[in-house]
Chains A and B, each alone.
Chain A
Amino acid sequence: MAHKTENPRAWLFVAPVLLLVAFNAFIPLMAVINYSVQESFGNNLFFWHGIGWFEQIMNSERFQATLLRQGFFTFIILAIELPLGVAIALTMPKKGFWVPVCLVLMALPLLVPWNVVGAMWNIFALPDLGLLGATLNGFGWEYNMTSDPFDAWFTMILMDVWHWTSLVVLLSYAGLVSIPDAFYQAARIDGASRLSVFRFIELPKMKHVLTIAVLLRFMDSFKIYTEPFVLTGGGPGNSTTLLSIDLVKIGLGQFDLGPAAAMSLIYFLIVLTFSWIFYTLMTKNDPM
């Protein structure tokens, strides 16, 4: 482990990163904050509106419904992808010819552009022309993603599991192969069961990578836009309109900049709060 020394000049090392991120994050964020407290009647005329938009958004049923939908989506995909990813990582071979083959094939969905993911699943799920849709209909389930909200949700979640479980697998696998063999040998001598090997050796060793996995999946599922938009367009009705889709509808579709900006700030704060709590809890005992 590296021991750290006090060095105020370290700021110089961080400067390029700060400059780039500040340009990209700070200036646009200021613009969003600026919009969120003003009312506009077009022609670039703006008036001070205070916290009016925030009150309006917080009290709007539409926002509450979207937020609930988003929370539900994030909860379901975390509940499926984490256990599944860990299970697959545990059952993967640890060495030999098949390791790189497995890893390469599993990483493939991660590198598909997001709108191609949506288009691919759209084609795959067409009720009459797609493999998935035709198969489900063949089994007697009257499957139609464009008219039935349940089917749309089913497809959207299946698509996200297809897309992102591999990330959890790769991270957990990295955590698993870093465990020295001596740990397993000690467990065998002690006569530990498979379950306790998992509970007391593998899980603690994977804690760090799993923290990263949860944080990444949480943040990314909250800002998901392109894939569900290409897949379902937010429909049928509003049933699959997640936060970002609604935001783009309000901001770029109806050009209601004030409410859109206020909504995105609320949305940003929610993600920030959850991530901060989780990050603090998980790294509490770290020597960082």
Chain B
Amino acid sequence: MARLTRYVPLLYILFLMLPIYWLVSMSFKTTNEILSGLTLWPQNFTLENYATIFTDSTWYMGYVNSITYVVLNTIISVAAALPAAYAFSRYRFLGDKHLFFWLLTNRMAPAAVFALPFFQLYSSVGLFDTHIAVALAHTLFNIPLAVWILEGFMRGVPTELDETAYVDGYSFPKFFVKIFVPTITAGIGVAAFFCFMFSWVELLLAKTLTAVDAKPIAATMTRTASTSGYQLGLLAAAGSLTLIPGAVVIYFVRNYIAKGFALGRV
């Protein structure tokens, strides 16, 4: 029995990898091979699909746009969430519990509901089709999450730390930046990871708020797929490339995922 349970995670990972393998292997196949029948691995290995993406600026600019607004969003979300999470973890104030729950309710708001009002709002303030618009729109669901995660980590830090620092003559801003932030790096790592993740994977709002200059890669994919026929190989190559930023980010926070998660409430 104990032997058998060891294979559970292995089987699960195998199940996770199968569709990914299928996507990546298809990206190396020629259109002819894909349509001529089922082959388990590419028979005529080709890089043509990738060449198309890297030489066409409408394709590769999609990646640049996506990464730009995702990074902007991560910075804004974490920077705004830090002081708020500190307040929630250290102080009692009027309406704190209600406020905390209200923040969380924003994660429930379906993007489909907000698509049209968002379009009107960002057009009226002149931010339509800019990276900052998408970054700001994504704070709707990322800030609540970042506050939630950071609050969990901060509550694990004893208040004696704050008090000792004040006794030692630190002012609040100096204490916060020099002492407090470094002690919760793991928490910031985890929060940044989640912000990056949810901003990177979201499409509906990103697509609604952009037209040309800030169009995300995921939107380029759907439009290309529908205008120039069903080019499965090209679609698969573009899809495979979207896996890379995620994989890189996971690699960087791998130790935080292993250890950091457990420190806070998350």
Contact = CB atoms under 8 A, between A and B. Distances in A.
Nearest to A126: B232
B22 interface: yes
Interface string B162-192: 0000000000000000000000000000000
Given A2-B159, A20-B139, A91-B9, A222 B108 contact: yes
Interface residues of B, number: 104
A282 interface: no
A248 B23 CA distance: 28
A281 B144 CA distance: 21
Interface in A145-204: 162, 165-166, 169-171, 173-175, 177-178
B143 A116 contact: no
> What does DSSP make chain A's interface, helix, strand, loop or mixed?
helix
A28 B117 contact: yes
Interface in B16-60: 16-20, 22-23, 26, 34-35, 37-38, 40
Given A13-B86, A264-B110, A264-B112, A88 B9 contact: yes
Contact of B16 (A119, A128, A166, A244): A166
Contacts of A129: 34-35, 37-38, 232
A3 B204 CA distance: 42
Contact of B158 (A2, A18, A105): A2
> What does DSSP make chain B's interface, helix, strand, loop or mixed?
helix
Interface stretch (A46-54, A59-67, A268-276): A268-276
A82 interface: no
Nearest to B260: A174
B220 to A, nearest CB: 11
Contacts of A165: 12
Given A107-B257, A170-B257, A13 B87 contact: yes
23 contacts: A2-B90, A10-B87, A11-B87, A14-B88, A27-B117, A27-B121, A106-B12, A106-B16, A108-B20, A108-B247, A111-B250, A116-B218, A128-B38, A131-B18, A171-B266, A177-B262, A243-B110, A247-B113, A248-B115, A251-B112, A264-B113, A268-B108, A271-B108
Closest 8 A-B residue pairs measured CB to CB?
A111-B246, A174-B261, A28-B117, A13-B87, A223-B110, A264-B113, A10-B91, A31-B117
Given A4-B92, A28-B121, 15 more contacts: A6-B93, A13-B91, A14-B99, A17-B84, A21-B139, A21-B143, A24-B137, A24-B140, A29-B117, A91-B6, A105-B16, A112-B242, A113-B217, A115-B218, A132-B19
